[in-house]
Structure 1
Amino acid sequence: MKYIFTLLLMSLLGCISQSANSTEVSIDFEEVNHFSYPLISESWLVLDTQKKIDSVYSIIHSQTQGSRLAPIPTMNEDESYLVFKPVLKNTNDIEIKKILLKNSILYIEVVEFSNPEILKLSRASPSVLVKLLTKVNVKNIIIKYQKNH
């Protein structure tokens, strides 16, 4: 009887921990900037070390004209940075509406629009730099596109 009770208890705890892991968490964020040139070779990258942040900002600084360069953020244990390249077909920019984290997957809800400032520079999709106001462990990102009405 103890064996059956122990087995039942372990399976119940497994289900509870599994459902706790699948909760959806809203992530507060700040859009840092949209760049008309590539910052990374991948489709997305979490900047979780100072070396990665410095590498991205060296590209930004090399593309900056004039003497005023964007300040390089310092790695903070309570936040993360994310660079991603949305795939756009009929527009050239996005606005981020919401970012959610579920099971180490970051869901980014965006609205597409045509940005005349970026259109002057490039017809390609921008590289988007976002500051996540929470430390995240991400295995993948999924971008959910909404139509701009």
Structure 2
Amino acid sequence: MTEVTRLFDFPYFQLQHKPNPKALVTKYDGKWQPTSTQEYVDNSNAMSRALLRLGVQKDDKIAVISTANRTEWNIMDIGILQLGAQNIPIYPTISAEDYEYVLNHSESIYCFVSDVEVLEKVRKVQANTKLKRFILLIILKVASTIQNY
């Protein structure tokens, strides 16, 4: 790769030209844990495959609501973008009614949330949206587990 033309090209460009053992770091239980460029690319590709299995297609809108800045959200962003889908970041502290408005006007059909509090707000309005599925992403130390609700 000689040129970066899309956001999801950055990890691949870095992997090819200057791989970094600490491309991203996140604090888990008070200790900083690195993610290498190779792990970043591999995990992003795994996320893309998981999204494809969920039925995500090009131009689908995927809402992401997180109360924390973590490596996993960067991985999810790249995984979404390289499928040609669109990441719709939503501010985590808005009301359930505001979630309904944003989810409808963004035409989001999938929604990933970071915690149970946000999940409950989305559940309140899900019937009034076009959401096919919403998923609680639980972060456990270095690994992430996707759990359907």
TM-score category, normalised to shorter length: under 0.3
Determine which structure has more spread, i.e. the larger CA radius of gyration. 1
Pick 1 or 2: higher relative contact order, CA cutoff 8 A, min separation 6. 1
Report the TM-score when normalising by structure 1: 0.27
Higher strand share: 1
Could you state the TM-score of these two structures normalised by the residue count of structure 2? 0.27
